[in-house]
Structure 1
Amino acid sequence: MKKASLLFSFFLLSLMTVMAQNQNQFPSQVWHKGNIFMVDGTALSGLVKYDMDNNLVQLQSETVTTYTASNVATFEIYDETYGGIRKFYSLPYALNGNYETPIFFEVLTQGDNIALLCREYIATDTRGMNNWGGMGMNPFWGPPNFSGYRLAFNYYFLKNGRLEKYSMKKKDLFAMLPGYDDEISLFMRKNRLEHDKRGDLLRIAAYYNELQN
């Protein structure tokens, strides 16, 4: 009986260690079940890891193969750490300078009129452990990371076939979503939404698409 109890305790300790390790890793640092859809129409499945800084995506099957955003049309992953399917598209954009090149964007919500996209990056967290890096209370992202770094995002609106970076200023949010200032203001107040949080921006953009229909 003591041996069985000891084995069970060891199992729980091992499980807690694995969970703690996963929580201390950002989504881009782990492998996810997923699919990659190439520009030529080829579909690939396996374990997927992405690198937004260098616009690369890796596929692990029998070997590990690396693809650039120029070769990939879209890819999707199931984020087992926090739950949920996440979709990424390769779109031309001038990230630095005026030269447009394909880079990866994650699609948060899309409709007939606008789409809200983002690019994540790992930033140094100098604002204290009580700040979740602007993620709000969205359970998709799980607990905060206490390693001194945080997951941060740049947001973009796709309108009329053009990508525009969002400045994270409230006045510019209304400029990005014109024609319904009163309705959006009321919606934000009623639901206690902020203009610079991932989950809140998703809801606001989705609501704007509803207003346009």
Structure 2
Amino acid sequence: MKYYYLFFFCFFAQSTWATALPQYGFWCSGRITLENNEVLEGEISYDLKFDAIQIKKGGIVRTYTAQNINSFEMFDPIKYRHRKYVSIDHAMGEGYKRKTFFEVLADGKLTVLRKSKYVRRPRVTEDFRAPHIYLNVVCRHTYYIYKEGEFMEVDDFQGQVLPLMRSHQREIADYVQRCDLKLREIHEQMRVVNLYNQLVAIGPADELLTESVGK
């Protein structure tokens, strides 16, 4: 039973994960949960540059920031997947914190959040007679393990995150081998984290093995 489960998860995860972020001006169906737990539903658009969310309903467009929102969810029809963002206090430097949006990539025993922002990256033209430097705007992602209000920035998945999955080390290793994962790309890393969270939800490794053998 355990191996059928791992095989299904391997096949299913290949077809459902995507990492692209909808751009500003992109409207899709979704809902917003305000700080007072009021829920608003309609067409929403996430303005990544200003870290604000707009909702359009009945011809009226309203704008909210992370200061008055608990979370928002939307369905991305381009990547065909559900996205969820939460508003969390985050250190902004100089000893103060401010609420900002994070995308939830994995939620469970291991919660993985992603913070995205636009940055300018210089690019030099190939005209060597009169080279020019342009600034390209690109989206940069930073990943965190979030636990009990604390952030751990992740820049080495195998060195920082895999050791946190020791309770199901054997199942994780088997899954990585069966699916031929290199664990260099975020979509492969999140497949492993999501599997781990599901295994934890099922029960300890020894209980899972006993159940599988019994069936």
Q: With structure 2 as the length reference, what TM-score do the two structures score?
A: 0.65
- CA positional deviation for 1:173: 2.5
**CA–CA distance in 1 between the matches of 2:92 and 2:178?**
36
Q: Could you tell me which amino acid in structure 2 is paired with residue 100 of structure 1?
A: K
Q: What is the aligned residue count?
A: 168
Secondary structure at the counterpart of residue 183 of structure 2:
coil
- Whether the aligned pair in 2 keeps the contact of 1:46 and 1:59 (CA below 8 Å) is yes
Q: Could you tell me which amino acid in structure 2 is paired with residue 198 of structure 1?
A: I
Pick closer, same or farther for the CA change 1:27–1:37 going to 2, 3 Å: same
RMSD (CA atoms): 3.0
**CA–CA distance in 2 between the matches of 1:125 and 1:170?**
28
Secondary structure at the counterpart of residue 70 of structure 1:
helix
1:51 matched to 2:39? no
Q: Show the counterpart of 2:176.
A: 188
- CA positional deviation for 1:163: 2.5
Q: Show the counterpart of 1:91.
A: 88
**CA–CA distance in 2 between the matches of 1:97 and 1:171?**
29
Q: Which range is displaced more, 51-60 or 71-80?
A: 51-60
Q: Could you tell me which amino acid in structure 1 is paired with residue 77 of structure 2?
A: E
Pick closer, same or farther for the CA change 1:85–1:60 going to 2, 3 Å: same
Pick closer, same or farther for the CA change 1:100–1:59 going to 2, 3 Å: same
- CA positional deviation for 1:27: 0.8
Q: Show the counterpart of 2:115.
A: 119
Pick closer, same or farther for the CA change 1:117–1:76 going to 2, 3 Å: same
Q: Show the counterpart of 2:106.
A: 109
1:101-139 alpha-carbon deviations (Å, 9 max, x no partner): 21111112212x22122123456789xxxxxxxxxxxxx
**CA–CA distance in 2 between the matches of 1:98 and 1:193?**
40
Correspondent of 1:27 among 14, 22, 31: 22
Secondary structure at the counterpart of residue 53 of structure 2:
strand
- CA positional deviation for 1:74: 0.7
1:166-191 alpha-carbon deviations (Å, 9 max, x no partner): 11453122345455556534432332
- Whether the aligned pair in 1 keeps the contact of 2:157 and 2:189 (CA below 8 Å) is no
| Percent identity between the two aligned chains | 25
Correspondent of 1:72 among 69, 72, 96: 69
Whose strand fraction is larger, Structure 1's or Structure 2's? 2
Pick closer, same or farther for the CA change 1:122–1:33 going to 2, 3 Å: same
- Whether the aligned pair in 1 keeps the contact of 2:55 and 2:63 (CA below 8 Å) is yes
Unmatched tracts of structure 2, length 5 or more? 1-19, 123-135, 204-215
- CA positional deviation for 1:154: 1.6
1:52-78 alpha-carbon deviations (Å, 9 max, x no partner): 343211112223221110100111111
Q: Give the 4+ runs in structure 1 shifted more than 6 A.
A: none
- CA positional deviation for 1:86: 0.9
- CA positional deviation for 1:79: 1.0
Unmatched tracts of structure 1, length 5 or more? 1-24, 127-147
- Whether the aligned pair in 2 keeps the contact of 1:168 and 1:195 (CA below 8 Å) is no
